[in-house]
Amino acid sequence: MKKEQISRRGFIQRTSAAAATASVVGAVASPAVVRAQGANAKFRVGFVGPGGRGFGAHVKTLSSLAVEGRNVELVAVADVYNENRDRTADHVKANNGNDMTKYGDYREMYENEDLDAVCIGTPDHWHAKQTLDALAADLNVYCEKPMTKYVEEAIAVAQAWKASGKVMQVGVQSTSLPLWKTVNDLLTSGKLGKVLMYQTEMFRNSVMGQWRYYKLNEQMTPRNIDWKTWLGVEEGLAEDIPFDRAVYAQWRRFWPFGSGMFTDLFVHRTTSMMKATGLRYPSRVVGAGGIYVEYDGRDVPDVATVVADFDEGVQGLVSATMACQNTPLQQTIRGHNGSFVFGTGENFTGFDFVAERPQVTLDSSIVDERIEVGECPNTTKAHFENWVDALEANDPLMCNNTPDLGAAAIVLVILGAQSYRQGKVYRFDKETMTYSDADGSWATKWEDRSHERGTPNHIPGWTAGDTGSVLTPEDYQSLEGPWINGVDPAAQ
């Protein structure tokens, strides 16, 4: 399953809808008129690919919200697997009382149903095309993470969304935690001084190997699953290969369809750190790792690390193993005056401020502190509620994980995966939204800044001036400097 060739034709097909609707990456277009305008009108929602996450989170959560009285109606489902179609329709009938229309091809659902929005829960390699097709059909979108599989697709989706004026939420539910706004306010106001680094993690362990807990069953056959459509052969999304239950159910293990922990797990933590810091596209990315224990036929590594550097003078690190869980890294944001420590997981009620010593901060009032924000017991529900709120307000920017944030996160983790696979370091150019092989210019830039006694860059929204960003040299540094023509610089 190592071979992964995507044709130029396939990429053009995936991005043609974006090219038709977007010419620049700029401000979000004026919100499109939403059909469900009246107080009692309901947003008609269709589901694309409600398998594991698509059923357990998308269908069940929106079904519950409808029961609670939110303005959503679950009306149609499209899936290549008849069992998934039937399960979704049965659940909605039992819990919401209405019959759903069932489709084998999502394009027929987009065309034939009077929809307001779609929820996309298919494997990664389909996300971009199904999202672009939805935006071109004037539909609002909830797309499960990762937003896309490739860097170019991420840029195309962000462009199409900005041009469309539609409401789109990317399914990283941790971005709906209330604490990230508090963290960002504290960071930009100088609580940590110069922000230097974030560190995050996603450690797991499993006796059978990651993603093999998605069960295989005898009903998974080419008779029940439209295999060629699942692959996306005609669309140029994947090559035609023999049917395999493990590939179908456990696709996250194989490069043509997913990218293992990079896109299934790292994108969660990376998006949250971007939400907290205000950082977006990295400028330099490198990935490392390997398959060190899970020799079960998979392509993707069980140990991996991605390091990203940002023009704002911040480094980001995300690291994990899929084979040890009890000794994870702490999720942390570090600055010159102190650090925020969040612990592990994602359901934080608060976080710790750990101060640097007063000999460094030169401020004895900077001391350790616990900062409570409040509990969010169900981040998935909160994330869908946020999406519905944005639909009702017809405000694309209300979403907690908009596609511009989703694109920045996927660029980082995908370049990390690509770096691991290709043995390269990558530079990303935010002006052209393209990437290339890195060279020594990154290090040279910072060395020149130091030699010129420059000033630090800061995270977006920084309002704290020089707080925690200026060094205080000892008097003896006045002796520093080259002796030109034998003259002591201290004597000048």
In three-state secondary structure terms, 232 is coil
* C-alpha–C-alpha distance, residues 387 and 455, integer Å: 40
Q: Is residue 474 part of a domain?
A: no
The pLDDT, as a whole number, for residue 14 is 46
d(CA 332, CA 313): 16
- Decide if 74 is inside a domain: yes
Nearest to 323 by CA among 200, 202, 204, 213: 204
Identify whether the C-beta of residue 272 lies closer than 8 Å to the C-beta of residue 172. yes
Residue located via tokens 């690190």: 317
Give dist(CA 466, CA 221) in Å, integer.
Answer: 64
Q: Which domain holds residue 112?
A: 10-176+380-400
* CB 299, CB 255: distance < 8 Å: yes
Burial 383-420 (b: 16+ CB within 10 A, else e): bbbbbbebbbebebebbbbbbbbbbbbbbbbbbbbbbb
Distances in Å between the alpha carbon of 282 and those of 240, 276, 294?
A: 35, 15, 30
Token pair 């370091």: residue: 425
Q: Taking Cα atoms as reference points, which of 204, 197, 172, 417 lies closest to residue 328?
A: 204
The domain that holds 57 is classified in CATH as 3.40.50.720
Length of the chain: 492
Evaluate whether 378 touches 220 at the Cβ level (below 8 Å): no
Rounded CA gap, 262 and 256, in Å? 14
In this prediction, the residues of the chain whose per-residue pLDDT falls under 70 are 1-27, 30-40
Residue 34 pLDDT: 54
Rounded Cα distance between 170 and 143, Å, is: 5
Those residues with Cβ within 8 angstroms of residue 244's Cβ, 6 or more apart along the chain or in another chain: none
HSE, side-chain direction, 13 A CA sphere, residue 130: 32
What is the distance between the alpha carbons of residues 375 and 350, in angstroms, rounded to a whole number?
A: 8
In whole angstroms, give the CA distance from residue 209 to residue 337: 41
Residue ranges of alpha helices (H) inside 146-214 are: 151-164, 179-188
Report if residue 100 sits inside a domain: yes
Does the residue 210 lie in any domain?
no
**Residue 109, domain member (yes or no):** yes
User: What total of structural domains would you count in the chain?
Assistant: 1
Structure confidence by residue, pLDDT tens digits, 376-412 = 989 999 999 999 999 999 999 999 999 999 999 999 9
Pairing of strands 314-321, 195-201: parallel
R_g of the chain, CA atoms, integer Å: 24
CA distances for 131 relative to 13, 42, 72, 103, 257, angstroms: 12, 22, 20, 17, 16
Q: Is residue 315 part of a domain?
A: no
The structure tokens listed for 366 are: 């900077």
d(Cα 25, Cα 132) in Å, to the nearest integer?
15
Predicted structure pTM score: 0.93
Q: How far apart are CA 415 and CA 427, in angstroms?
A: 9
For residues 210 and 115, give the distance between their C-alpha atoms in angstroms, rounded to a whole number.
Answer: 36
Read off the tokens for 294: 């899970």
Identify whether 239 is part of a domain.
no
Neighbours of 479 (CB within 10 A): 9
| Inside any domain, residue 18 | yes
